[in-house]
Amino acid sequence: MLRDKNLVPLSRQHQHALALCVRLDRALQAGDVDLEAWQSEIHTSFEQEICVHFVAEEKDLFPSASKFPKLRPIVEDLLAEHTTLRDFFARAASRSLKKRDLRSFIRRLSSHIRKEERELFEGMQGVMNEGELASIGGALEVSLRAATQTCKLSSRQPKA
């Protein structure tokens, strides 16, 4: 199914994150892993784009999708995955990831993105009308612009 124009900005960001996964996977396969440099890149990617992306999804996309019973379980899974992924990003920021963690990070991030694209976005396009998608698109545009100030990992709440 062709991606609705209102979801395209998120899909573009997904492409950037998948490119990070592909590059990291290639480096791991080649045995050419500078752990410090990769953790720095993962952290930078989070602060520059992925955090903004997560905030926009959580504020605008997920609540709208959750109104549809068919999509609610997918949204719940994706929210849980955001928590897990934020932990990986925080560990990259503190430079505490190990080489085996990088493989798990790649697997989890790429799987998460594919679930959003194949299950959530496809599902939304199947149950939402043009007006609902346009409303989400407008909200996403504002959030993607405004969210850059909300993404510092240091403001993260400690785990209980």
Any idea which residue has 């194949």 for tokens?
118
Residue 104 makes CB contacts below 8 A (sequence gap 6+) with 88
Q: Is residue 155 part of a domain?
A: no
Count structural domains, the chain.
1
Residue 107 belongs to some domain of the structure: yes
Cα angle 116, 28, 152; round to 5: 50
For 116-135, the pLDDT digits (tens) are: 999 999 999 999 999 999 99
Q: Which residue range(s) make up the domain with 130?
A: 8-149
The C-alpha atoms of residue 130 and residue 111 are separated, in whole angstroms, by 28
In a domain, 1, yes or no: no
Query: Between these two residues, 21 and 156, which has the higher pLDDT value?
Result: 21
Residue 107, pLDDT above cutoff 50: yes
The whole-model pTM stands at 0.88
Question: SS3 breakdown of the chain: % helix, strand, coil, rounded to 5?
Answer: 80, 0, 20
**Domain assignment present for 156:** no
Residue 3 forms part of a structural domain: no
Distance CA 4, CA 137 (A): 9
Nearest residue to 64 (alpha-carbon basis) of 125, 111, 114, 14: 125
State the CATH number of the domain containing residue 72.
Answer: 1.20.120.520
**Residue-level pLDDT at 32:** 80
36 in any annotated domain: yes
Residue 97 located in a structural domain: yes
> Does the residue 2 lie in any domain?
no
